[in-house]
């Protein structure tokens, strides 16, 4: 007899109604073209992705569809994958990555609200990866991880 899954169904509501799979594909393809052209980040990514760029891009499209559309398609584990680069990646690499991501998102999404939603998700992901790779339990992430560096409510009084 199969066990009955009694967990409530996950709400699959996209973070913004105007974001499409085509937008996500354009975002991923455009972003990684910029990454590959970057003097610092290009060699880091090329060393890891050489001969596997198509697989990586497909995986990133599933990842971003899961994040932005709440599709549930991505089943990977990003933190352990990125931990393999510990020692290669520096704090400033996260700034470079986010700068490229932010400008790409602003170019891809004509709806400014949609672009802001996408960028905020990237900032959360970058913060999580930075903490896992370079932070300690008492470190505060660098301000550049947040598009507007004004203190957030959770930072008030610190």
Report yes or no: 71 and 12 within 8 Å, Cβ to Cβ.
yes
* Spatial separation of the C-alpha atoms in residues 102 and 30, rounded to whole Å: 12
Alpha-carbon distance of 126 to 134, in angstroms, equals 11
What's the pTM?
0.83
Q: What is the pLDDT along the chain (158 residues), one digit of tens a residue?
A: 566 666 666 667 877 889 999 999 999 999 999 999 999 999 999 999 999 999 999 999 999 999 999 998 898 888 888 888 888 899 999 999 999 999 999 999 999 999 999 999 999 999 999 999 998 878 888 898 886 543 333 333 33
pLDDT tens, position by position, 88-127: 899 999 999 999 999 999 999 999 999 999 999 999 999 9
Dist. CA 23–CA 107, nearest whole Å = 11
Count how many Cα atoms sit within 13 Å of the Cα of residue 102 in the half-sphere of its side chain: 16
What's the CA gap between 43 and 49, in Å, rounded? 10
Sorted by where each starts, the structural domains of the chain and their CATH numbers stand as: 21-70+79-147 (1.10.490.10)
What is the Cα–Cα distance from 93 to 36, expressed in whole angstroms?
A: 13
């Amino acid at each position: 007899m199969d066990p009955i899954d009694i967990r409530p169904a996950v709400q699959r509501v996209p973070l913004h109604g105007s974001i499409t799979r085509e937008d996500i594909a354009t975002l991923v393809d455009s972003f990684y073209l910029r990454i590959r052209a970057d003097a610092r980040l290009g060699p880091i990514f090329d060393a890891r992705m050489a001969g596997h760029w198509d697989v990586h891009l497909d995986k990133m499209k599933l990842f971003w569809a899961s994040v932005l559309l709440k599709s549930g398609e991505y089943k990977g584990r990003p933190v352990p994958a990125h931990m393999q680069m510990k020692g290669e990646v520096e704090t400033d690499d996260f700034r470079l990555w986010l700068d490229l991501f932010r400008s790409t998102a602003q170019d891809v999404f004509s709806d400014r609200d949609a672009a802001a939603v996408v960028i905020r998700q990237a900032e959360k992901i970058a913060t999580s990866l930075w903490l896992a790779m370079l932070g300690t339990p008492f470190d505060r992430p660098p301000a550049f991880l947040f598009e507007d560096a004004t203190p957030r409510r959770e930072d008030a009084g610190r």
